[in-house]
Every structure is written in structure tokens, then in C-alpha cells.
A and B are shown apart, each in its own frame.
Chain A
Amino acid sequence: MLALQLTITGLQTGALYALTAVGFSLIFGSTRIFHFAHGATFIIAAYLFYYMNVSGYGLIAGIAAATAGAIAFGLLLNRFVYVPIQRDEGSFFTVFVASFGIGIVVQNVVGMIFGRGYVTVSTPLSFSVEIMEGLYVAPIAWISMLCAAVFFGILWGFLKYSQMGKALRALADNPELVRVFGLNPRFIAASAFTIGSILVVPAAIISGATSGLNPAMGHHVMLISLAATIVGGIGSVPGTLLAGLALGLAESLALLYVDSQWTEAVTFAILFLFIIIRPSGLLGRSAAH
């Protein structure tokens, strides 16, 4: 029964991991921008929702604010940091450092406004209900999985059938050809940031109600996103999705054997094994070198 309990918790965590990681993977896969501040997008969305919630504005306003904040941050960062850097030369290093610096700024500004401790969004949805003998599941677990399913369904349709979705995949495959074809890579990149940032929002909001928020959690979000992107295979959205789910499950099921402070070690071990044994990831093309 404990295993089943942990599986459900793991799927809940994994669904949120997958959403966040796919956001990063989509941006990185199509634009090749190492968007380390993706963790900061998460923080901004989560704390905006938290703020709206404690101020009593209600659910819809909270979701709207979080979404608007996430998109605005992603687009502004792209426009005022990444684009100027790439105009000269877009080495991995410069983009990473700039993104990293912005992440530090966001973490500390949020910490100064909201405090550095944990805060939680309180909702009756996170109270566990006994659905079978000895099996307790909070409604929010189902909401997480449903959210992930809906968002991934829409994303799949978008990437497969819409004009912009096709352009995004094309940009990931061959940026030169996209330019030759007459599409504007900069506009496509902005769309990637918009979609990638939107994907963070449900995970950010739900995390606020389940695990709680902390301004420093951006690094954890980034570790998970990076791990899922690499384990899934860089450039592969389905791979990242699977890897995100698998990491959530693995962290949760590991509790059968180890104490909770070691869960991040499990993520690290999986990431490490993949880097050494299969750097191209689960579904990736061989892209390690």
C-alpha cells in the first residue's frame, strides 16, 4: 500500500516536474538559449499567485497574474538580455552567465519582498482524503495530473498542426533553413519563450499549495529541468516529459529505501548515470558532442 501511495505522490510530483522541464526543453531545444533563469520564471509565477491569493483576489485573477508575470518575464529577458548578447556572439557561456545573474536578482528581490522562509498557499484541495483503506490522496494530486495531461495535449496539437508549432520544430532542426525560408527566427524565439513560460505556471501555482514556496527554490527547479532535459534527450519534448515523470516517480519511490533528505541525490544519480552511459538521453538524437 505504501508503494501505491508513493506512486501516486510520485506521479503528482512528476507531472509538475514534466511541465516545468518541458518549458525549459522547448526554449533550449528551439533557440539554443541556455535559459537558466527558467527557475526565476517559476518563482515569479508562484509568488504572484501567492500574493493575489493572500490579498483575496480569487483564483482566476491569481492565475491571470501568474501567467502574465511569467510571460512578461520570459519575453523581457529574451528581448533585453539574450537578443543583445546574441547580436555579438551567442556563446553558451555568456548567455548562461547573464541568465544566471538575472536568476540571482529575482531570487533576492522576491526574498526581500516576501521573506526568505517557506510560504504556502492554503487551500482545502491539498487536504488528503482516504480513497481506499490506508491510501490517502489529496484532490490536488488529481488536479496536477489532469493539468499536465491537458497542457501536454494542447502543446502536442500546437507543435504538430499549427504554423507556429511547425516553425518552432524547424528552428530546432535548422535555424539557417528557417531564415532562408523567410520566417523570422526572432519572432519564433519569442513564441518559444511565451510557451515555455506558460508551461511553468501550473507547476508553480500547484507547488505553492503542495510543497510550499521559497525564493531559493529556483535552483531546485533548474536542477530538475536540466536533469529531465538531459535524461530525456536534448531537443526532444516527449523525452523530457517522460523523464520529468520518471524523476518524480523515482524521487518518491526512493522513500521506500532512504530518508527524504536524499531525494535530490536520487535525481543526481540518475542524471549522472545518463551523462556517463547515454548522454544523448532517452529519446534524443546523438547530440552530446
Chain B
Amino acid sequence: MEAYLLNLFILISIYSILGVTLNFIMGYAGIYSLAHAVFFGVGAYAGSFMAMHFNASIFVTLPVAMVAGGLLSLILALPALRVRGEYFVAASLGLQVLAVTIFSEWKGVTGGIGGLIGIPPLDIAGFEIFKPSQFIFVTVVALVIILFIINRLVHSSFGRSLRAIRDSESAAAAFGKNVPLIKTISVVISSALTAVAGVLYASYLSFINVESFMLDTSVLIMAMVIIGGTGTQAGPIVGAALLLILPSLISYLDFLPQTEIGSIQQIIYGLGMALLMIYRPGGIVGRKKHSETGKE
């Protein structure tokens, strides 16, 4: 039971990082990405590649993963600079589909469909972290640091510029804000921090394959942010905790078929997303009427 809870908390904190970083571009910059799992995957693969072939120290794996995620995100930033939300949804959906093909085909780095086995544990200045009871501290600390970084960004002049862009791009441009630059920086920061979650995830499980980084994962992360509350600090974490506890709650209900837990979980959050948008667009944590999250 204790091992089970530890595992659950570790996953919640990793997914919270994913939610918090997605919320940063979705809630504050109005960029709705269906490709968040791509950067999660890039971080995981890049970190594992370094750890398996060069050095497992986090001072090697984390920077490499973050740079890889950040650089790749420029591909995503490019269309985001040009166009409105609906175009961007399409572009990110396309990128997600393409990335899954690359993850399953680029055998030299990703191990193909079979994935990578035997990824070394995290190495922090010579200490190898492989016990879950130690790992939970690492993930929670990582989450707190990332929350802190994003909190600082949101409350700086940069964050105000972001919200200005979300609410009205032309007004922000008229006030002399460099809209393309601000959007690009926010996408790069978000993706680089997402890659951190990838490194943690890979070294925690010591096994990864493409199935963790498919469209379903991007959708799950988006659902966490939306259900928790877009554009709020605590929302993505609440959402991550809720959606990850949900499958275990469902498995307690004996009358539901155990083989369909995954489907039932998705049905519940799919319905949850639709109902929230009708009755409470700001999410669980968000305000009732959503002056904070919407963009025409």
C-alpha cells in the first residue's frame, strides 16, 4: 500500500510539472497545444540517451534534455507567431502525430516501438536515486522549483505582457510589445521545463517507449489543466491529482468491468471537460465566470 501510494505521488508530481508547464502557455499566452507530450518525450529520450551512453549525472542529462526540448519547440513557435488559435491547434496536432512516427522509427535513439530498457537511475552529484522514497523528494523539489520559476515569470513584466497578448494581441502590439518574441520565449521556456519531467519520468521507470508520449498523453495533460483551472496556479496540480487518482477509484467500484478502466477514465474526463465548459469554464480552481481564461 505504501509503495502504491508513493508511486502514485511520484506520478502526480511528474504530471503536475507537465500540467503547470502547459498551463503557462495555454492559460497565460493563449497557445492551445496538443503537442505537449512531444516535449515530454523529447526530454525523456534525450535524457535517457545521455544517461545510457555518456553520463547519468543530472548536471548532464537535464541541460541536454532542456536544450533539446527548447530547440525543438521553435518548430512549434513558428506557426504560433503567425496565426490564431484554430490554426495552432491544427499545427500542434500535426506535430504530435509526426512525433509519434519519429519516436517509433528512430531506432538508434528511441529504441523504436520496443523503447529503451535499463535507463540508469538519477545521479545527483554521485548519489544514485533509485528508491521511490528518495525519488519522491526529487520530483517534489523539481515541481516546486518549476512552480517558483513560472510564478516569478507570470508576475514579472514578462507575464503581464503575456496576458496582454492573450487578451488582445493587437492592443499589446500597439503598446510596443514585441509579440512574436514574447510568444517564442514563452513556448521555449515551457518546453524546456517540460523536458525536465521527461528526464524524471524516464529515470524513475528505467523503461520508456512511444506509448507514453502519444496523443492520448497530450490530451490527458490538457484535460488536467482544463479541469483543474486554466490560468490558475493550483489548477494544473489539482487536475493532475484528480485524473491520476480517478483510475484507482474506478477500480474500487466492482460493478464496472476492470478491463475498461482506461476507457471509463477517459469518458469521465471527456464528459467533465464538456460539462465544465458549459457550467464553469474557469475549471475547479478558477473563477466562476471566466474573464481570466478566454480569448476571442
| 4 nearest CB pairs, A to B | A101-B273, A104-B270, A268-B94, A98-B277
Contacts A91-B296, A267-B94 given: A108-B266 contact, CB under 8 Å?
Answer: yes
Q: Does chain A have a CB within 8 A of B246?
A: no
Assess the B271–A101 pair: CB atoms within 8 A.
yes
The reply to whether B85 and A92 form a contact with Cβ atoms under 8 Å apart is yes
* A226 and B294 form a contact (CB under 8 A): no
> CA separation between A23 and B179, bound complex, in Å?
34
Quick one: given A93-B32, A98-B278, are A272 and B93 in contact (CB under 8 Å)?
A: no
Question: Quick one: CB contact mask for B279-296 with A, threshold 8 Å, 1 for yes?
Answer: 001000000011001111
Residue B269 contacts which of A91, A104, A234, A265 (CB distance < 8 angstroms)? A104
Contacts A94-B281, A108-B266, A261-B101 given; 6 further ones with Cβ under 8 A?
A: A94-B290, A94-B294, A96-B32, A105-B274, A108-B267, A268-B94
Query: Chain A residues with Cβ under 8 A from B86's Cβ?
Result: 28, 34, 92, 96, 226, 234
**B97 engages A275 (CB within 8 Å):** no
Q: Does A81 contact B (CB under 8 A)?
A: yes
Residues of A within 8 A of B89 (CB): 34, 36, 96, 226
A-B contact pairs, 16 of them (CB 8 A): A36-B89, A85-B281, A93-B295, A103-B270, A104-B219, A105-B266, A219-B215, A226-B90, A227-B94, A264-B97, A265-B101, A268-B98, A271-B94, A275-B90, A275-B91, A288-B82
* A contact residues around B293 at 8 Å (CB): 93
The answer, yes or no, to whether B83 is at the interface (CB within 8 Å) is: yes
Taking the closest CB of chain B, its distance from the CB of A216, in whole angstroms, is 8
B187 within 8 A of A: no
Contact with B along A94-124 (1 / 0, CB 8 A): 1111111111110111011000000000000
List chain A residues, Cβ under 8 A from B269: 101, 104
Contact residues in B for A28 (Cβ distance below 8 Å): 86
Complex: chain A residue closest to B293, CB-CB = A93
User: How many residues on chain B are close to A (CB under 8 Å)?
Assistant: 49
Residues of chain A contacted by B273 (CB below 8 angstroms): 97-98, 100-101, 104
Residue numbers in B under 8 Å from A138 (CB-CB) = none
Q: Compute how far the CA of A220 lies from the CA of B274 in the bound complex, rounded to whole angstroms.
A: 21
Minimal Cβ-Cβ distance residue in B for A95: B277
Any A CB within 8 A of the CB of B95: yes
Q: Which residues does chain B contribute within 8 Å of A219, judged by CB atoms?
A: 93, 97, 215
Query: Distance (Å) between the CB of B34 and the closest chain A CB?
Result: 9
With A94-B281, A101-B277 as given contacts, are A264 and B98 in contact (CB-CB < 8 Å)? yes
Please list the residues of chain A having a beta carbon within 8 angstroms of any beta carbon in chain B.
28, 34, 36, 81, 84-85, 88-89, 91-105, 107-109, 111-112, 219-220, 222-223, 226-227, 230, 234, 261-262, 264-265, 267-268, 271-272, 275-276, 279, 288-289
Assess whether A275 is in contact with B296, with CB atoms less than 8 Å apart.
no
Chain B residues in 8 Å Cβ range of A111: 263
Distance in Å: Cβ of B106 to nearest Cβ of chain A: 12
- Contact in complex: A275, B83 (CB < 8 Å): yes
B272 at the interface (CB under 8 A from A): yes
- Bound complex: CA A227 to CA B90 (Å): 7
B267 with A104: CB separation less than 8 A: yes
Minimal Cβ-Cβ distance residue in A for B215: A219
Contact A268 B263 (CB under 8 A): no
User: Do A275 and B98 have beta carbons less than 8 Å apart?
Assistant: no
Interface string of B218-240 (1 = CB under 8 A from A): 01001100100010000000000
When the two chains form their complex, are residues B294 and A89 in contact, meaning their CB atoms are under 8 A apart?
A: yes
Q: How far is the CA of A104 from the CA of B277 in the complex (A)?
A: 15
Answer yes or no: B260 CB below 8 A from chain A CBs.
yes
**A275 CA to B85 CA in the complex, in Å?**
12
**Is B78 interfacial (CB 8 A cutoff)?**
yes
Complex: chain A residue closest to B279, CB-CB: A84
